Copies of this chain bind each other. A is one copy, B any other.
Amino acid sequence: MAMDRLLEKIAELQNPTVAGLDPKLSYLPDFLKAESFAKHGKTLEGAADALLAFNKGLIDALYDIVPAIKPQAAYYEMLGWQGVRTLTETIRYAKSKGMYVITDGKRNDIGATMEAYAAAHLGVTDIEGEQAETFGADALTVNGYLGSDGINPLLAVCQARDKGIFVLVKTSNPSSGELQDKVLDSGETIYRIMGDMCENWGKELPGKYGYSGVGAVVGATYPAQLGELRKALPHTFFLVPGYGAQGGGAADVAPGFDENGLGALVNSSRGIMCAWQKEKCAPEDYAGAARREAERMRDEIVSQIGKIKLPE
């Protein structure tokens, strides 16, 4: 199953991290933008072209040490369909280099509409007998507010095409508790109910290392909840945002891991994309700076969790 492929890649590279590709134009070195603007002007097409060049540079620098990328759909949609084309090409390029791709779209809907999202991001679209792959990620983040009607259509595609999902459970932002921390009359929190739903949905997609194809998004900024959920949801793999720019450190993410150093994938977006700005290196070395930051982050997290082992 899809989560197995991710776990194998994590163990192979001994690195439980993912590079978030959420590029804003201001993160890009001027020389990249100048090349694209010279071709296309300061247009959506020009900006989308520059983003693609930036992403390819990062992927080239990261693919042999980082198991996965997580492009955030919003930053591509911000550049219109031209940006969405860059998202497509970024995913293809990363996959051609052997990386696991998680599209961060937080998609949600029901029935036939959720089937359309599943086809779009994880499946294929049938055009009267011709099969076309559109985005082709390995996994998609989703929002479970609509209940099983919003998740079941994804499970069928995940089953058929060896893909996975990550459901928002406890997000990393300061206001995540406004709804997610509310306590039900049963005594449980909303995030815990959502987590239990993930365990339940995951029964449809069991994995050979104990983690199902239904993962959960749990923020690094709430280490107590991360640890609570790690114990409560033994078959649910965690995607962990909030490391770095949002304030989470290696000690904060440690409770998300199990005794094999598995169970969580920690995301860094700005930390990696903007490493060249923080390092104040030559802009031409932006990808080198990203690699150095990815190595630093890997080493910092691995120092907390030890050697990563796939269970027999």
Contact = CB atoms under 8 A, between A and B. Distances in A.
Interface string A123-145: 00101111010110000000111
Nearest to A174: B149
Nearest to A124: B78
Contacts of A130: 41-43
Interface in A99-122: 106-114, 116-117, 119-121
Interface residues of A, number: 75
A81 B92 CA distance: 13
Contact of A185 (B88, B119, B144, B183): B183
Interface in A282-304: none
Q: State the 9 A-B residue pairs at the shortest beta-carbon distance, nearest first.
A: A147-B175, A147-B178, A80-B134, A74-B116, A77-B120, A81-B85, A149-B173, A110-B173, A42-B130
Interface of A: 22, 24-25, 33, 37, 41-44, 46-47, 72, 74-75, 77-85, 87-88, 106-114, 116-117, 119-121, 125, 127-130, 132, 134-135, 143-150, 168, 171-180, 182-185, 187, 190, 193-194, 197
16 contacts: A42-B128, A42-B129, A78-B116, A79-B132, A80-B132, A83-B134, A106-B109, A110-B171, A144-B145, A145-B168, A145-B179, A146-B171, A149-B175, A179-B190, A179-B193, A184-B184
